[in-house]
Each structure stands twice: as structure tokens, then as C-alpha cells.
Structure 1
Amino acid sequence: MNSLSIILPAKNEAPALADLLPRLRTAQPTAEIIVVDDGSTDNTRAICAQHGIQCLTSPYSMGNGAAIKRGARVASGDILVFMDGDGQHDPADVARLVEKLEQGFDMAVGARDWGSQAGVGRGLANTLYNWLASHMTGHEVADLTSGFRAVRAERFREFLYLLPNGFSYPTTSTMAFFRSAYPVAYLSIKASQRVGKSHIKPLRDGLRFLLIIFKIATLYSPLKLFVPTSAMFFLFGLANYAWTFIHEGRLTNMSTLMWSAAVIIFLIGLVSEQITALTYRHHG
């Protein structure tokens, strides 16, 4: 039987952990539970000690993804479960995710419904990410950014070097699994309201979430993004040329500029495709 390690990144989540840890221990009495303290200034370590939970500490905050990587390196289980330390995820759902792996999947992700999204803006953004990721991979991606997931440890550790230190580790790991033909499953979950205040700041992290869109492409198949963009510029240039030729009988700089942009974008996509192939050269 596979051993199980549950990893919870936490930054100043002591109130949530005080409620979550005993429920998690009850739900998974034999699992290894690791809290990765990402530079907390509250009594996170004391709460972990009180409940007999292993706590990895950091002298300063390195980011959610960095906490995930630290936990994954230390965990001894054959199966790793990642869940937020803010109380949003139900410990009872851990068994459902693990059961999915036993059916032959390498990753099982808890997919949040619309009511579980943190606001309309985040919900719309996640819907866009899911649609784009589904289009890129050819598989249905129900929740690209969910932090509640179970993975086979040996598979997940293959991609530790790819994972960022920030909040986009779920996106990176999901696209890496799809690229390497490791099967991914989605299970519907209900996420609760988090305990305490979110560490995601819209102004600071908004750009990071926009960059997720480009990361989706560059981690899977860059040409699927760059070729349509290149074609769009080429057609705009063609349309502009047709208009100016009919009305002015000449070729304008704008058409030439758009065609040049089309060629440059296509070449960037071609180079990116080769880089992506090299990135996965050990896992193909």
C-alpha cells in the first residue's frame, strides 16, 4: 500500500491550523503531515508542536511555491497531497483524491465550483485560464490554479526545478504533467471561506496571474499560441494593404510593419518550441 504525505504551506495561518490539523489527523491518522512555515510571525510553530505535527520553518518568506518544493523534498510518502493551510480545503476530500490515483492517474486535482471562487474577478480569470489550458492540451482542465491536489511523488519531483517560488506552482505542475503524458484527473470539491486574510494582493499579483497565460503556452506547446498570433498580424497587414492599395494605390509602412511582426512572432514561437522540447528532454 502506498504511503501518504500531506504538505501544507502556511504563512501566518495559526488560527486556521488550530482547527484544521486535528481534523486532518482524524481523517488521515497514518499519514505524514508536514506544515511548511513560510516565514510566519505568529504562533504557527507552537500550534504544530501542540498537535505533534512536523513543521519546516524558514527565517523569511520565500513564497508559496518555495514552501511546496521544500515540503516535497522532505516528504517520505509515495503519494503527496498538497492543500492550503488556510482552512479552505476539507480533509475528507483527501481520500477522494488519493482514490483517483489508485485508479491509474498520476495527479488528481480538487476542482472548485463557481461558488468557491474568491470573488467574481478571480472566478472569471480562472475560467479564462481553464479554457486556454484545455485548448492548448486537448484535455478538459477543470481548475488550473487549484492548490488542492494529490500526486505521485516520483512524478512530481521530476519537475521541481520548473516550479516557481510564487503562487503559480499549480499551473506549472499541471502543464508539465500534461506535456509529459502523465494522466491528470479532476474531482469536484467545495472550498470553504478561508480563515483570516488572503496573502494575494491584486495590484502586486495581478501581473503574475496574467503571466500565467503565457506560461500555459510556453510549458506545453508555444506554437499553439504564437502561430495564431502571427497569422493575425499577417492578416491585419494584408487587410491594411488591400485598403490602401484600393484607395491610394500604394503599399504603406503599416502593412510592412505588421508583416514583419508576423515573421518575428512566428520565429519566436519556433525558438520557444525548441526550448520547451529541450526542457522536457529527460522526461519524454
Structure 2
Amino acid sequence: MGKINISLVIPARNESAGLKRILPQLRELALNTEIIVVDDGSTDNTEEASVNEGAVVIKHPYPMGNGAAIKTGARAAKGDVIVFMDADGQHQPEDISGLLQKYSEGYDMVVGARLPGSHAGPHRAVANDFFSHAASWMVRHTVEDLTSGFRVVNAKRFRQFLYLIPNGFSYPTTITMSFFRAGYRVAYVPIHTPRRIGRSHIRPFRDGVRFLMIIIKIGTLFSPLRLFLPISTGFFLTGLGYYIYTFLSAGRFTNMSALMFTSSILTFLIGIVSEQISALHYKDIDGTNDKD
């Protein structure tokens, strides 16, 4: 795939057991990459395990979140291409070559899409499918796995969106939607992920709500009419339905129908203005569209 510099970034919080397994495997692959482990305020020997295996360790003084660790690693990475993977043993080092091969075909980001049966439980699979379909509708592209953290990215383009990435457990959601809406090329490679080593730090309900809010936030940044137009249409149809009902039953036009029609018009106009404002976001992206 040509000679490129590759950095491998692994966010970790109390993941010494997983790192002791995957770091030797990464070294055996002889990828000739720098390996950066971002220790997110661990209380176990995550740092020691990483240093012993030859990784560069950047330590947060306290837990700042998975997204914060990703941003720290991305800023420190020297490679033109960054490989992100988890430290819990779910992402298999042998899958990296497949992701890099796909990336070499001209993509800006390649994501490891988990096969059925790879999720921690049925509730996780259902939640991921729901979020993936919602994101697909928002960005008008098929999003096969919205929450997978195993991916290869163009470092320069990834850093354009660091300011959007929250500090919590939702960087895959943000970066996936950002790349699609920016017009960058995204591909998926199917992978199987075994059960994680250790205990997950994700809380399904709390982080599920956050994922949904991030989808809405990114949607309003990049494609506001995809949100505002359906809401406007809903107000209009509600007002129209209520007007028909009151006209047939009482022969009059009510204040409630007027409120619904007014809300529909205002929501649509807000969507139009938001769409024009969101176009300014591409001003910064256009200057970096040259292929690295």
C-alpha cells in the first residue's frame, strides 16, 4: 500500500490484563508502527504493562473519558495514518492488515464492522442496530457499525474533527457521522470480536442517551434539514388534521390550528437558516481536501 507512517493508538483504563495479551501480538505482527497507549487515569498496572512491551505511554492524571484518551493519542501520533483499537481484547491484532488493505484502496477511514454474535449481549446488538439505522438516515449513507472503535483513519482528516469529539464513550459515533457528512470516503470490513477481558466501563442506558444526543448534535451541524423538516411537517399535518376536524364539527378555524401552522413555518425557517450556517463548516474542510 505504499510507504506510509502508521501510528497505533490504544486508549486504556485499568486494562493491564488485555494489554499483556494484545501488545505482544502486535509486536509479532512486525507492523513497524509506533504504539501509543493512553492510560486514562488507571489504578492498576496498565502503565507498567505497556512500558514493558515497548509501547509509548501517555498518562492522564485522572480518568477523563475514552474520547479524551482518543484525542490525546491522535494529537501525539506521528503517523500519517492512525489505527485505533481497544485494549480489552475484543479487537484482534490480526485484523489490522485487512483494515489497512482496504484503506489502501483510497478510503479516508475504514471501520471494523462487528459480525452478528460479536456484541456483548443482545441489548448491545439491538442498540447498535438502532443507532446505525438512525445515523444512516441522517447522513444518507449506510452506516454498518456506528459504535465500533476499531478503525483506520487518515490522521490529518481525523484531527479536523477533534473539537467535536466528546470526552465520553461516543467518539466512534461522532467521527463516523462527521466523515460521512464531510464527503470523505468511508468503508467497512467485517470482523469478529470475542468477549472482552475485564469489566466494561459503558453504562447502556446513560451512554445510549448520550449516543442519541450526539447523533442529533452532529445532524444539526451537518444536515439540519434532516431534523427540522420532519418536525415542521409533523406540526403542519397536525394543524391540518385538527383544522379539518374542527371545520367539519364546528365550522371554524381554531387557535390551536393556527399555532400548529405557525410552529411549522417557524421550524422550517429555522431549518433553512441552520442549513446555511452549517455550510460554513465546510469552509475549513475544503482547504485540506488534498490527499496526504
Q: TM-score scaled by structure 2? A: 0.92
User: Partner residue of 2:135?
Assistant: 133
Q: CA deviation at 1:121?
A: 2.5
Q: TM-score, normalised by structure 1?
A: 0.94
Kept after mapping to 2: 8 A contact 1:18/1:47: yes
Question: AA paired with 1:70?
Answer: T
- Give the Å deviation of 1:29: 4.0
2:153 maps to: 151
Code of the aligned partner of 1:75 = A
SS at match of 1:283: helix
Assess if the C-alpha contact under 8 Å between 1:2 and 1:79 holds in 2. Answer: yes
Q: Which sections of structure 2, spanning at least 5 residues, go unmatched?
A: 287-292
Consecutive unaligned residues in structure 1, runs of 5 or more = none
Tell me the percent identity: 56
**Number of corresponding residues:** 284
Residue 206 to residue 155, structure 1, CA distance change in 2 (3 Å): closer
Structure 2 counterpart of 1:36, from 4, 26, 38: 38
CA distance in 2: counterparts of 1:283 and 1:175, whole angstroms: 15
Whether the aligned pair in 1 keeps the contact of 2:7 and 2:81 (CA below 8 Å) is yes
Asked whether the 8 Å contact 1:175–1:219 carries over to 2, the reply is no
Contact 2:131 2:212 in 1 (8 A): no
Q: 2:255 aligns with which of 253, 256, 262?
A: 253
Aligned pairs for 1:272-283 within 5 A: 272-283=274-285
1:61 to partner: Cα distance:
1.2
The correspondence for 1:199, drawn from 198, 201, 213, is 201
Kindly indicate whether residue 18 of structure 2 is the aligned counterpart of residue 23 of structure 1.
no
Deviations 1:60-93 (A, max 9, x none): 1111111111101111111100011111101011
Residues 226 and 265, structure 1, Cα contact 8 Å, conserved in 2:
yes
- Equivalent position of 2:107 in the other structure: 105
Select 2:56's aligned residue among 42, 54, 57: 54
Aligned residue for 2:16? 14
Deviations 1:225-265 (A, max 9, x none): 21122111101110011011101222233322322322232
Counterparts of residues 54-203 of structure 1 (less than 5 Å): 54-203=56-205
User: Given the superposition, is the C-alpha separation of residues 24 and 123 from structure 1 closer, same or farther in structure 2, using an over 3 Å criterion?
Assistant: same
State the one-letter code of the partner of 1:138: R
Matches of 2:232 and 2:37, distance apart in 1: 46
Greater than 4 Å deviation, 4+ residue runs: none
Question: Does the CA contact (< 8 Å) of 1:6 and 1:82 recur in 2?
Answer: yes
Q: Which residue of 1 aligns with 2:290?
A: none
> Could you tell me how far apart the structure 1 residues matched to 2:116 and 2:276 are?
37
> Which shifted more, 244-253 or 60-69?
244-253
Structure 1 residues 271 and 41, CA, compared in 2 at 3 Å: closer, same or farther? farther
Q: For residues 256 and 81 of structure 1, what CA distance do their matches in structure 2 show?
A: 54
SS at match of 2:284: coil
Query: C-alpha separation between the residues in 2 aligned to 1:145 and 1:215?
Result: 16
For 1:203-214, what aligned pairs fall within 5 Å after superposition?
Answer: 203-214=205-216
CA distance in 2, matches of 1:253, 1:118: 51
Query: 8 Å contact 1:110–1:148 — kept in the other structure?
Result: yes
- Tell me which residue corresponds to 2:246: 244
Task: Quote the Cα distance in structure 1 between the aligned partners of 2:276 and 2:119.
Answer: 36
Tell me how far apart the structure 1 counterparts of residues 52 and 15 of structure 2 sit (CA, whole Å).
15
What is the alpha-carbon distance in structure 1 between the residues aligned to residue 16 and residue 190 of structure 2?
27
One-letter amino acid matched to 2:62: Y
Task: Tell me which residue corresponds to 2:289.
Answer: none
Cα deviations by residue, 1:184-210 (Å, 9 ceiling, x for unpaired): 111111111111111111343232122
Q: Does the CA contact (< 8 Å) of 1:88 and 1:194 recur in 2?
A: yes
Aligned equivalent of 1:233:
235
**Change in CA separation of 1:44 and 1:190 when aligned onto 2, cut-off 3 Å:** same
